[in-house]
Amino acid sequence: MAFNTFHPFPRLPTELRMQIWEAACRGLRQSFQAVHYVTLDEYTEMSPLKHNWDDSKPRNKSIYLWDAGLWTACQESRDVVAKHWGKQPRPYNDDDMLDCCSLEEYNHYDRIWPEEDSGRRVLMLHSRVDGEHWRQMVYPKYDLLCIVADDWEFLTSKWTEVSYWGIVLDAHNVAVEFDPSWNLSLENKTSTPFIEDVPASLEFLLRWLFGHIGNDGSPKPKLIVRDMDWILRHHINGPQIRDFDEEYVEVPAYELVPYISSGGDTTSIARDSTLSDFFDLLDQVYYEKSLEIYCYETFLDPCDWDYEIETSSHRLDIRDSFSILLSRTNQVER
């Protein structure tokens, strides 16, 4: 076959077409940590974002859409991705297959799926788009789940159900996107134990934070921060983290400091202080509540903690309870 000749895809040899479809499938053992954007459906279960053709709304950049087009492109691609689907570990929610396939197909997968693999379980998310079922898989224990919502009030009201994800699905990496407008709602507040008078998205984050403080077994809140330039001063270990558009770097919140020329090995914010201000405001408004929760969870007496503060300058730092994901797009040189 001449390399300078263009051949429409349907005219390629069958063997070559099959190789292309195979190469397009998402591998069962990927070399990166996948980012998926998820929400809560009306049944309080984890759900993929609704598909829409409205270009005015942000595009869904979830890695779970990797195979979506293969289910709908043609019968040939569908056969290939279906074969891959049968090789994956049995999903947590395998009974949901009855919602997106025939009983005959369900029984087929039920026979061929490998038995439960406690090391790498998958969760199936499915969407019905233009009459077609898109089957999407996530690995809750390894992938990163970013929670988004059109209605944060509903999601916040169902916080208990969301908090079970970490237990039931063994989901260790859960995030929300940082919203700079949160600062406006905190700027004029004084120390308070109340969280109901803030935006619903911030209330969701605070409930998550207070559920994590003093409880290392719960997922640490992660914030995806966009549109903020940052400088990396040291090598970061760990897997590559990415969605369809961007790669991210994860750093502990306490390492992220405003830029100074002699900043040592910290990861620095180049110009924007919005994120630093946010943590300062959280500390100002919710430190006492955070300390009360921490002492309760760890069986400490707040008075003893106050004594430690006076004698050793030790202080509960809210930043210790957060991890930050920074977009490589915003990384700048020193």
User: Given pLDDT bands bounded at 50, 70 and 90, which one contains residue 68?
Assistant: confident
CB count in 10 Å sphere of residue 82: 16
Which DSSP state fits 65? G
Helix (H, G, I), strand (E, B) or coil at 164: coil
More confident call, 264 vs 145: 145
Round to the nearest angstrom and report the end-to-end CA distance of the chain.
50
Which tokens is 214 given?
Answer: 């003093």
pTM: 0.84
Which of 74-83, 209-218, 321-330 ranks highest by mean pLDDT? 321-330
Read off the pLDDT of each residue in 221-235 and give the average, rounded to a whole number.
86
In whole angstroms, give the CA distance from residue 102 to residue 80: 18
**From CA 44, how far away is CA 64, in angstroms rounded?**
20
Mean pLDDT across 31-55: 82
Predicted local confidence at residue 325, as pLDDT = 95
* Beta strand residue intervals within the chain, DSSP E: 32-40, 46-48, 123-129, 132-138, 144-147, 174-177, 222-225, 230-231, 240-242, 247-252, 256-258, 267-269, 323-327
Model pLDDT for residues 231-247, shown as the tens digit of each residue: 877 777 778 999 999 99
Residue by residue, DSSP assigns 7-51 as: --GGGS-HHHHHHHHHHHSPPSS-SEEEEEEEEE-TTS-EEEPPP
- Helical ranges in 52-189 per DSSP H: 68-72, 75-87, 103-112, 152-157, 159-163, 165-168, 182-186
Distance between CA atoms of residues 322 and 319, nearest Å: 5
User: Which of these, 152, 157, 120, lies nearest to 139 by C-alpha position?
Assistant: 120
- pLDDT for position 275: 92
Give the containing element (helix H, strand E) for 333.
none
- 159 in helix, strand or coil? helix
Instruction: Return the domain boundaries, the chain.
Output: 9-138, 173-330
Greater confidence, 314 or 227? Answer: 227
Residue 307 predicted with pLDDT over 50: no
**Highest mean pLDDT out of 4-8, 42-46, 178-182:** 178-182
**What pLDDT is recorded for position 160?**
82
